[in-house]
Amino acid sequence: MHGVASNDRLNARMGPGTDYAVIERFAHNARGLQMVTCVPFYTMAHFSAMTDAEVASLPPRWCLMRSADLSVAGWVSARYLVEDSAPSTPSQEAEIDPVSYAIDLVYALYEAADLAQVGGPNPLDPSQAAHYFHSGVVENIRRNPPQVDPLIGAQDFSGHIGAPFPDPQQPMLRGMITINVIITNFGRAHTAVFRLRADPGQPGAPIRIFRIEHDGWAFE
């Protein structure tokens, strides 16, 4: 959850909008919620193909959420949602394939960036960046906010963002995971290379992004 006061709860409604009745409430610090779907519905590919005007014309996004035990469910405004970053226990870490986790993290980063375009929290904001980035990168973002979007490698974007995939040559080496994303911007394609590893600076040492490489430069 994001932006809900500690003495408040998040309304869960019968439908996607404030015209619908409140049927449940989530705690301000609820974790482990499951996202069923969101409206407007779009995939990362759909969103990346939209113009700025089309994005601006979208109505506020609402998501159908439910608690892990399925006891509470309802529609909530997407601007209050952030990725659950609870540290894994040692037993959970053993069950998670690091490369698959890294793919999911990169995908979640792009999804969060999409949500930021329609009012959600920005994953590049220092208050949110630790969900995705290594502690050193978070500190750099705090000191020197990026002037170029590190997710696309440019200031302006018109094109398509492909699905993240493990590097075919060396997906993992000595604890470093490499995930690639093919980005087509104004008709030109290039591969964004994400480097990830465990971050001992965060509780539980979760896998986080410590470097993003584009043609000729890197964000770290």
The pLDDT of residue 37 is: 85
CA within 13 Å, CB half, 165: 9
Give the closest residue to 132 by CA, choosing from 116, 156, 154, 148. 116
Q: How far apart are CA 30 and CA 157, in angstroms?
A: 35
The pLDDT of residue 134 is: 96
Q: How far apart are CA 121 and CA 123, in angstroms?
A: 6
The tokens of 59 are what?
A: 């109505």
The pLDDT of residue 84 is: 63
The pLDDT of residue 140 is: 95
User: Chain-centre distance of CA 73, in angstroms?
Assistant: 22
Ranges of the chain with pLDDT below 70: 1-2, 43-45, 47-48, 83-96
Whether 202 contacts 208, CB under 8 Å: yes
pLDDT (tens digit per residue) in 86-121 = 444 444 444 568 898 899 899 889 988 888 877 778
The pLDDT of residue 92 is: 46
What SS3 state is found at 46?
helix
The pLDDT of residue 30 is: 85
Distances in Å between the alpha carbon of 111 and those of 22, 90, 187, 197, 217? 27, 27, 22, 21, 23
Q: CB under 8 Å to 209, separation ≥6 — which residues?
A: 105, 106, 109, 132, 133, 134, 137, 194, 195, 196
